[in-house]
Copies of this chain bind each other. A is one copy, B any other.
Amino acid sequence: MDVRFAVNVAPKEGILDPQGRAVEGSLGHLGIEGVSAVRVGRRIELTVSADDGGAARAIVDRLASELLSNPLIESYQVEELGAASSLVGGAA
């Protein structure tokens, strides 16, 4: 079975997030008010072919912790997007 997942990687709390600060610094130029606590992370979407959902999930977890995130400074969270078809670039 093919399952499409998203892995959301975010800087851990307390870790500096220069990209988030840059976004906040740009808000004034756009005249946008009321936006705060901006955190910039990554989102990786991928398709896993495995025997069952549990095996697919195990592969994603391994990939997320060993390749897609740096556990020292980042946390990740896996989201199952459903059976894979043409979900590339699609919705959550």
Contacts and interface: CB of A to CB of B under 8 A. Distances in A.
Contact of A35 (B6, B35, B47): B47
A70 interface: no
A21 interface: no
A67 B8 contact: no
Given A34-B56, A39-B46, 8 more contacts: A4-B37, A8-B92, A30-B62, A30-B63, A32-B62, A36-B46, A41-B42, A77-B92
30 contacts: A4-B37, A8-B43, A9-B43, A10-B43, A10-B45, A10-B89, A11-B89, A12-B89, A13-B88, A23-B46, A23-B68, A27-B63, A30-B62, A30-B66, A32-B59, A32-B62, A34-B48, A34-B50, A36-B46, A36-B47, A37-B47, A37-B84, A37-B88, A39-B45, A39-B88, A39-B89, A40-B42, A40-B44, A41-B45, A42-B42
